[in-house]
Amino acid sequence: MPIKHNVIEEELAKLGLSFHATPQGRRRKVTLDDYEAGVAAGREFEPHCSVEGT
Q: Is residue 52's pLDDT more than 70?
A: no
Q: Are 25 and 31 in contact (CB under 8 A)?
A: no
Cα gap 19→12, rounded to integer Å: 9
Q: What are phi and psi of 53, to 5 degrees?
A: 95, -65
| Cα 15–Cα 18–Cα 24 angle in degrees, nearest 5 | 140
17-51 tens-digit pLDDT: 877 777 767 777 888 999 999 999 989 888 777 66
Cα gap 46→54, rounded to integer Å: 15
CA-based end-to-end distance of the chain: 40
Q: What is the pTM of this model?
A: 0.39
